[in-house]
A and B are shown apart, each in its own frame.
Chain A
Amino acid sequence: MKVAFVTPRYGVEVMGGAESAARQLAEHLVAECGWQVEVFSTCALDHITWDNVLPPGDSVLNGVTVHRFASASGRVPEFYELDARLRMAPSEATLEQSRRWLELNGPVTPDLVAAVGAGHAEVVAFYPYLYYPTVLGMQATSAPRVLHPAAHDEPALYLKVFDATFADADAICYHTAAERRLVQRRHRVAQIPQIELGLGVSPVVNGGRAGADILGIGDRPYVVSVGRVDEHKGSAMLAAFFTTYKKRHPGPLALALVGPKAAVIPDHEDIVLTGPVSEADKCDIVRDAMISISPSALESFSLVVLEAWEQCVPVMVNATCDPTREHCERSGGGLWFGSYREFEAVLERLCADDILRALLGARGHAYVQRYYQWPDLIRRYAGFLTAVRHRHDA
């Protein structure tokens, strides 16, 4: 079978949930099913500017053929003014306004869209719903279209420009049941064939170093938050919560923020910002952490939560983020907080209770083993794509 993925960024350098997920699915389809997989993407690495950084043209990455196209425009300054206006009542924005929002948000890629339309894939998967290549690419192809929304509860989900994107999909692949509920609250698409898949956890890379050594904090205990250090991802909130916690609970506990920096976090003696780290260092840091914290309210899956559980580390998540909270509720592998008071009470309890931490970590680990192993996921995904093609042919 020949499958195409359309995603605005692609490559090993790309840090981003949806784009990384697309790459993992593409590579596993090649490796485990022997399918022909191609990707239509841009030359961008940055999802804000969409600057053309990588060379356009064709290349092969881990068995996947990648077609890159330069963007005609990225996110432009006028975007922010329009976004601020529309996000107050996004469902009230007109179709014209929301189309304008889509173009100003970038990446505007007419060449990519034309190539998708001229492609010969038997199924085309679009990942995520939010950008020009998906919205326009879905209209351009006659092949069956599988939408991977990677949606979270953000104002853009309510813009009218995405109505057709959801309604016209031939099939939908969700990360979690929470994502499906969210999308179905907004769009009447329950009749469309669909699957709740998620992502697999890659094997742990053991670097053999102590996490505290990598962080340079001696033998201090620490909690960790992995991912882009970004205000929108809750990093600034987590730093402020932790700073207040430490004022009220003096002691050696430290917080490690592991990932590229996209927000200003005030210097604090108990907070370590690592910047980007190797996979081995990341695994070592997570393995030795007391708790892994996911402060983001805007996740559609959150691989970092599952990666912590893979190493039996308990997690704390943002209570308003349905997918991560759903992971915790279903697995019994973590606790959640919906205010500073709850953050303080949960952190205090977890730090003081070794048995509880071990129980949560073990339950999270069992959940990952049961539901998020690649061979099983890719078997289900391949079966789903095959059925989508057959249904389209019938």
Chain B
Amino acid sequence: MTDVTGPSDAPVSEPDGDAEARRYLDEVRRDIDDEVRRRRASGDLPPGIERELDQLFLAHSPLGGRGAALRDMLRLVDASVFIDPVVPVESRRPGGTTVKRGLRSLNLWYLRYVTHQVSEFATAVSRALHVLDAQVTDLRHKVDALAAPPSVAVEVDWAHHPAAWWVEPATAALITHGGRVLHAACGDGWLVDALASRGVDAYGVDPRHRVVRPRAEPLDLRVEDVAAHIGAVASGSLHAVVLSGVVEGSGYVERNRLLQGAVRCLAPGGVLVVHSLTPLSWEDDDAPVEADMAGARPYRPRTWLRVMGDLGLEATVTEGADGRDYLVTGRLGAGR
């Protein structure tokens, strides 16, 4: 529909010393972070003032300062746990200060009792939150270590172009349907373009900035993470999802989530088309480099039939003539 030329689609690397400038700016940012930590540790700003200023900052931050780290928020909690029972007595009215002071003296024993309990409660909550923060941080480190590498779009020049053997049968399965078709990973929009020229309302998504480039004709191509995009598509709103170069590079858990998400997006009678390399070609010397970095290997054809069946799709698998790749087509029942 429209070409992609917004700033989010800027190439990752730019010429003329850009990388050097970026490195310098990263260094500046690190220097500033170090300086902030050093000054905070030195306590050169009275905690009350710092708390007041930070609360002012957070007052209009998005939904309570979602951008702030938990540790920063805890700093504000810590600074607020003491409830002062000694209320101010200044007054602009004549004799007001004396009256207020008298009232304060009369009530101080009571206020002390109450504020002491509130402060103790706040301190206990603050400690609990610190323990929670430590545990969450620890857990995050462990999860990070276990996490599969982020899924990447696999580049396979011989399979990802309009003349590849699987494109015609895939297109034939798509043009029998009205409705919108998503292609991921769309690259420079070669399949979206081919589908659009045959009257299909297609758009594409690809996480790789450098391959999604503006084209002469208007196409709806976006630089987005494929899983995140599918997660943001309304249920039953697409008539087809085409995945090429997407499933091979993802781990089993991500792959299943991706496929489940894609099926959720399909309207009744919708089609899920997957182009995948075979396990055999995944082991070849000329396999894409992602093969070495992927969290899993491609499924075999009969595994695909099982997976698609589990997803409620009637599936067929067509293998390419040289055994290097196959096309999986799954159709959702019209009465879903």
Contacts and interface: CB of A to CB of B under 8 A. Distances in A.
Interface of A: 152-155, 167, 171, 176-177, 184-185, 187-191, 193-198, 231-232, 234, 236-237, 240-241, 244, 248, 296-298, 318-322, 326-327, 330-332, 335, 338-342, 344-346, 349, 356, 359-360, 363, 367, 370-371, 376, 380, 383-384, 387-388, 391, 394
B72 A191 contact: no
Nearest to A166: B234
Given A188-B235, A319-B67, A342-B32, A359 B24 contact: yes
Interface string B191-214: 000000000010100000000000
Given A320-B61, A335-B32, A383-B2, 6 more contacts: A188-B233, A196-B8, A196-B222, A322-B62, A346-B32, A391-B201
Contacts, number: 165
A200 to B, nearest CB: 13
B22 interface: yes
Interface string B217-233: 01010111000111011
Contacts of B220: 193-194, 387
Nearest to A297: B61
B53 A177 contact: no
A191 B235 contact: no
Interface string B53-71: 1101101111101111000
Contacts of A244: 49, 53
A371 B6 contact: yes
A97 B269 CA distance: 38
B29 interface: yes
25 contacts: A177-B7, A185-B232, A191-B182, A191-B237, A194-B222, A195-B1, A196-B6, A237-B60, A241-B57, A244-B49, A320-B61, A320-B62, A331-B7, A332-B22, A332-B25, A339-B36, A339-B57, A339-B68, A340-B53, A345-B32, A345-B39, A367-B7, A371-B5, A387-B1, A391-B201
Interface in B270-319: none
Return the 7 tightest CB-CB contacts between A and B, nearest first: A153-B62, A320-B67, A177-B8, A184-B232, A190-B232, A340-B53, A196-B6
Contacts of A383: 2-3, 218
Given A198-B6, A332-B21, A376-B5, A190 B63 contact: no
B2 A387 contact: yes
B232 A341 contact: no
Contacts of B63: 153, 155
Contact of B36 (A152, A153, A345): A345
Contact of B180 (A176, A191, A195): A191
A189 B50 CA distance: 41
A149 B238 CA distance: 23
Contacts of A327: 7
Contact of B233 (A191, A237, A241): A191
Contact of B2 (A241, A367, A384): A384
Given A184-B232, A363-B21, A383-B218, A195 B2 contact: yes
B28 interface: yes
A320 B1 contact: no
A330 B5 contact: no
Interface of B: 1-8, 10, 21-22, 24-25, 28-29, 31-32, 35-36, 39-40, 45, 49-50, 53-54, 56-57, 59-63, 65-68, 72, 180, 182, 201, 203, 218, 220, 222-224, 228-230, 232-235, 237-238, 265
A305 B57 CA distance: 19
Contacts of B235: 188
Nearest to A193: B1
A142 to B, nearest CB: 20
B32 A188 contact: no
B215 to A, nearest CB: 12
A1 to B, nearest CB: 15
Contacts of A297: 60-62
B50 A237 contact: no
A189 B232 contact: yes
A339 B67 CA distance: 11
A319 B53 CA distance: 15
A153 B67 CA distance: 11
Q: Which of B2, B3, B28, B67 has the most CB of A within 10 A?
A: B2
B8 A330 contact: yes
Nearest to B49: A244
A190 B54 contact: no
A143 B234 CA distance: 22
